Chains A and B, each alone.
Chain A
């Protein structure tokens, strides 16, 4: 390897690391435009510019320089901040593509368009609706635990440890079953107590929801109030986090499509201020959430238009409203706004719920308004996964993402190595090994298939993040199979996004669009 090639290798490694850190910084700015520090973005582009100049990579130098000029800053007009964030994302994507081409030895991509976008003047006060930041509701990062609970937990652990020690020392094989059952009972109690510690009252996210309704109503020149019933109920953290993710979409839909302007409401004999009621009911296996508004509801004519536009049979029944309304791109809004009307929200909600094992139902209310009912599992802390092997990799796939399993003949069609390339590049594989085909569901209900060599079993597990790595790719995290074998947990939706649109020959992973007329988000 000559010295310039050596330096290029080092450069690529360092540049990728810098970009990755910059992307984390950009994500932090998206979450907290006012508070996050953007100085790291400056350093990143500056370092990249310097390194690229040393290698005489002029287009990359220009890109880094232009991106440096468009760093979002704290205290900036929100619209400018948002546009700069979008431009930063584009610059990073372009730089990533440039680096990938350099690594592959391909001709570098043309950066002219990105450079022009970066150089174009920005206008304060104008946001691109599709890219307007939606600040996620922050979940509490800590839980308060009463000392008495901790004492009880400690007592369980000490008791379990003492019994385990006794069983080991006594070594009575004849009582092994009895002792095993005793241990399982003890561990079950411990599991239950620990799970209870993860519960957080629903009221912890109510102020943020309330604020969202007030702010968005003001932007839409409406009046609306949010009334929450059952807010004192404690929900498992994962379940609450899921609700915090999807409820803003639904509340925005209520405001944008349901609640009328004060004048319209007065003409209809209603109070000038619209009312949205959110009811939470925790049950044994699931949590019911119902959102009702007293707005205009959905006129039959709009439904018929929507059904016709979606090329489906007319005459949707009442209980199928969710299927119709959550089709990608279907919206009752005549004009898209920053808040709603792009036909994305409900589709995203339904897909997200389906992946988590939840459901969405929408009904018309009599005499007016809409009722949205959501059902989510009472706990998302423990995920049920299928454990499989591909080559030498052990992988877990959440069962919610799986649709079916089919065995293919051994030595049949050779696998192209799309997934295996993604996994390792050269995973050893026996071509005569039988192959199992898993049908998986990606975003918007699209099916794709994944070939695995062996299904090892099923497990309930707590998925943990990969230490030191931001697991925002196709890996959800890690888990231990049978308490001793590390497995990586795949995120089917993210994996689908990584798949090439088409591949030559019989693929190891195939994408498939849903059949025409079928509901893509039907789950």
Chain B
């Protein structure tokens, strides 16, 4: 099955998302802070009548590499759908739509977010994994929303 991808870049990494997991690409907007969340979660945003978590792909990739630096907020949001509904990714720029590429090893530094790589004409892209995104959210969501760990951290 040849499912099209949305290709975009973050921190120089080329990433890909199956288009059925993209609800909308739009300009970034205002966010409200999420109590206790780490820097990878920029906050909460109202979108399509519900509360969404805004994730910084930039920081998630950087934390994987052990180098967290603060950049200007990326200008675009990808509002996710399907298994990742309720999440918004902050990204630098979309590149293009493309057909699914040939499987390849994950590009370096994308282990935290991608489960495999794909070869496209623009280069090897990391294919984002909803499961890994959700795991990243759980890691970064902070002490008030965690599971059991919250108590230790709060004290």
Q: Is A486 a contact partner of B44 (Cβ separation < 8 A)? A: yes
Q: How many residues of B contact A (CB 8 A)?
A: 41
Most chain B CB inside 10 Å of its own CB: which residue of A21, A423, A467: A467
Cα of A419 to Cα of B45 in the assembled complex, Å:
23
* Residues of A in contact with B, size category: 35 or more
CA distance A19 to B31 in the complex (A): 29
| Chain B contacts for A467, CB-based, 8 A | 51-53, 85-87, 137
Given the known inter-chain contacts A6-B66, A467-B85, please indicate yes or no for A20 contacting B50, CB distance below 8 A: no
Say yes or no for B2: interface residue by CB 8 A criterion: no
A21, A422, A480, A484 — most chain B CB neighbours (10 Å): A422
Besides A464-B50, A468-B133, A488-B35, 16 other A-B contacts (C-beta < 8 A): A9-B66, A13-B139, A17-B139, A96-B148, A422-B143, A424-B36, A466-B53, A467-B86, A468-B53, A468-B138, A469-B145, A470-B138, A475-B35, A475-B144, A485-B46, A488-B44
**Scoring B residues 122 to 155 as 1 if CB is less than 8 Å from chain A, else 0, what string do you get?**
0000000000011101110101111111111111
State how many angstroms separate the Cβ of A471 from the closest Cβ of chain B: 6
Which residue on chain A has the smallest CB distance to residue B31?
A: A486
Q: Does A455 contact B (CB under 8 A)?
A: no
Are B66 and A19 in contact (CB-based, < 8 A)?
Answer: no
B155 to chain A, nearest CB (A): 6
- State whether A16 and B149 are in contact (beta carbons under 8 Å apart), knowing that A423-B36, A468-B53, A480-B51 are contacts in the complex: yes
Contacts of B143 in A (CB 8 A): 422, 473
Pick from B34, B35, B63, B148: contact of A92, CB under 8 Å: B148
Least CB separation from A101: chain B residue: B152
Q: A467 to B134, alpha carbons, bound, how many Å?
A: 8
How far is the CB of A1 from the nearest CB of chain B, in Å?
Answer: 9
A97→B32 CA distance, assembly (Å): 30
Decide yes or no whether A93 CB sits under 8 A from chain B.
yes
Quick one: given A393-B35, A468-B87, are A20 and B139 in contact (CB under 8 Å)?
Answer: yes
B33, B51, B84, B150: the one contacting A498 at CB < 8 Å is B150
In the assembled complex, B49 has its CB within 8 A of some CB on chain A = yes
Determine if A20 and B134 form an interchain contact, defined as CB atoms under 8 angstroms apart. Answer: no
A16–B143 Cα gap in the complex (Å)?
11
- State in angstroms the CA–CA spacing of A132 and B48 once bound together: 44
Given known pairs A480-B49, A485-B32, the reply for A468 and B137 (CB within 8 Å) is yes
Which 6 A-B residue pairs are closest in the complex by CB-CB distance?
A467-B86, A486-B44, A468-B137, A478-B51, A423-B35, A17-B139
In Å, the complex CA distance between A331 and B64 comes to: 54
Counted as pairs of residues, one from A and one from B, with CB atoms less than 8 Å apart, the total is: 132
Q: Which one, A472, A485, A486, contacts B147 given CB within 8 A?
A: A472
Q: Is the CB of B155 within 8 A of A500?
A: yes
Shortest CB distance B88–A (Å): 9
The complex places the Cα of A122 from the Cα of B134 at a distance, in Å, of 36
B133: chain A residues within 8 A (beta carbon): 468
On chain B, the residues within 8 Å of A17 by CB distance are 135, 138-139
In the bound complex, CA of A247 to CA of B140 (Å) = 37
Provide the residues of chain A in CB contact with B46, threshold 8 Å.
480, 483-486
Q: How far is the CA of A424 from the CA of B32 in the complex (A)?
A: 12
Report yes or no: A393 in contact with B147, Cβ–Cβ below 8 A.
Answer: no
A392 within 8 A of B: yes
B residues in contact with A93, CB < 8 Å:
148, 152
Residues of B within 8 A of A473 (CB): 143-147, 150
B35, B85, B138: the one contacting A20 at CB < 8 Å is B138
What is the CA–CA distance of A20 and B63 in the complex, to the nearest angstrom?
18
Q: A13-B63, A486-B45 are in contact. Are A471 and B145 (CB under 8 A)?
A: yes
Q: List the A side residues contacting B63 at CB < 8 Å.
A: 13
**A480 contacts which chain B residues (CB < 8 A)?**
46, 49-51
List chain A residues, Cβ under 8 A from B153.
100
A28 shortest CB reach to chain B, Å: 12
> Quick check: is A65 within 8 A (CB to CB) of the other chain?
no
